Structure 1
Amino acid sequence: MITFALAVFFLIITPGPGVLSVAGVGSAFGFNHGARYIGGLFVGTNLVAIAVVSGMATVILANENIRAILLIASTLYLLYLAYRIAFAGARIAFKEAPSAPGFWAGVTLQLVNPKAYAVNTTLITGFAFLPSSLIAETLLKFLIMNLIWVPIHFVWLYAGMTVHRLNLAPHIQRRVNIAMAISMLLVVGLALAAPK
């Protein structure tokens, strides 16, 4: 169970579209908007986990056309996000967005987020620690994943809010933007390189 918890921690804390966008929302719009966005991401990631557990994700993703549409949608969205971050100039992340991404934006992002499917599939299908009861193990996995998922996303929100409050020099803020954009592009690269 400890190995599973460590895997959850390291798979979720690494930069992906969810946590990077949380930091961006936090830096541009503050805590309340960021918390609503996290609520959407939370619902979305649990919907993805339920789809993985129920086998629905396998059935849907077995259809080559649907898989291609999801891959294209997620890739385009992640490229757009990377572009917005990289070219935000001296501002951090979503500074010029007219309104904050809300609850439904968070849900939608997770539903097309390749990292959400990869992480949930890895965690749910691997790391068996209660072979005598698959149901109890699955319920414990959901509990552990969510107990780790929530604080990690609030740490990223706080990080984004902190970066905004620091009022960094423009050249440092540009470097932060570029680092976030490169992280997003790495996620896109991993999505495109993953076995289809």
Structure 2
Amino acid sequence: MLAFAAAVFFLIITPGPGVLSTAGVGSAYGFRPGLKYVLGLMIGTNLVALAVVSGLAAILFADDRIRTILLWASAAYLAYLAFRIAFAGAKIAFIHRATAPGVMGGILLQTINPKAYAVNTTFFTGFPLAEMSFSAEITLKFLIMNAIWLPIHLGWLWAGVALHQLNLAPRTQRAINIAMALSMLAVVALAALAQI
């Protein structure tokens, strides 16, 4: 169980579209709108996990055409976000929209987030827990995953809010934007390489 909890922690805390966009929403819109976005991400993550556990994701991804369409759609969207981040200029502005993305924005991001599928597949197909029934193991994994997932995302949200409140030099802000964009592009590249 400790190995599973450690895997959950390290796979979720690493930069990916969910945590990077959470920091961006916190930086751009503040904590309260960010909470709605985090709620959407959490719902989306659990929907992806249910798709993995139920086998729906495997059925969909078994069709090369569907898998390719979903891969390119997610890659295009994540590359677009990375582009917006990298060229935000000398101010930290991960996401520039008139209103915060909200709950639905979080749900939609997770449903096309290749890292969410890879991570949930790892969680639910690996790390067998001590001799227990399938339903008990899945339930326990969902509980552990969410208990770790939520504080990590709230931490990233807080980091985005705190980053906004700092008076950083324009050069530093530009470097942060580029680092975040490169991190998102790395996720896109890894997802594409996994399909080859």
Counterpart CA distance in 2 for 1:105 and 1:168 is 28
Q: In the TM superposition, what is the alpha-carbon distance from 1:177 to its structure 2 partner?
A: 0.4
Higher mean displacement: 65-74 or 126-135:
126-135
Corresponding position of 2:111: 111
CA contact (8 A) 1:130 1:136 kept: no
The 5 Å alignment of 1:107-186 reads 107-186=107-186
Corresponding residue pairs, total: 196
* Pairing 1:190–2:185 present: no
Q: In the TM superposition, what is the alpha-carbon distance from 1:68 to its structure 2 partner?
A: 1.1
1:61 alignment partner AA: F
1:194 alignment partner AA: A
Q: In the TM superposition, what is the alpha-carbon distance from 1:95 to its structure 2 partner?
A: 5.7
Cα distance 1:11–1:95, how it changes in 2: closer, same or farther (>3 A)?
Answer: closer
Counterpart CA distance in 1 for 2:13 and 2:5 is 12
Corresponding position of 1:90: 90
Counterpart CA distance in 1 for 2:102 and 2:156 is 16
Q: In the TM superposition, what is the alpha-carbon distance from 1:96 to its structure 2 partner?
A: 3.4
Q: In the TM superposition, what is the alpha-carbon distance from 1:132 to its structure 2 partner?
A: 3.3
Higher mean displacement: 59-68 or 2-11:
59-68
Q: In the TM superposition, what is the alpha-carbon distance from 1:29 to its structure 2 partner?
A: 0.3
Corresponding position of 1:30: 30
CA contact (8 A) 2:5 2:144 kept: yes
Counterpart CA distance in 2 for 1:127 and 1:162 is 35
Per-residue CA deviation, residues 11-45 of structure 1 (Å, 9 max, x unaligned), is 00000000000000000000111110001100000
Corresponding position of 1:15: 15
Corresponding position of 2:6: 6
Counterpart CA distance in 2 for 1:167 and 1:35 is 24
CA contact (8 A) 1:23 1:159 kept: yes
Gaps of 5+ in 2: none
Identity over the aligned pairs, expressed in percent?
63
Q: Which runs of 4+ in 1 moved over 6 A?
A: none
Higher mean displacement: 143-152 or 124-133:
124-133
Counterpart CA distance in 1 for 2:9 and 2:194 is 22
Counterpart CA distance in 2 for 1:122 and 1:67 is 18
1:65 alignment partner AA: R
Gaps of 5+ in 1: none
CA contact (8 A) 2:84 2:95 kept: no
Q: In the TM superposition, what is the alpha-carbon distance from 1:3 to its structure 2 partner?
A: 0.6
Counterpart CA distance in 2 for 1:50 and 1:122 is 13
TM-score w.r.t. the length of structure 1 is 0.97
Counterpart CA distance in 2 for 1:167 and 1:46 is 37
RMSD, matched Cα? 1.0
CA contact (8 A) 2:85 2:95 kept: no
Counterpart CA distance in 2 for 1:12 and 1:178 is 21
2:142 alignment partner AA: F
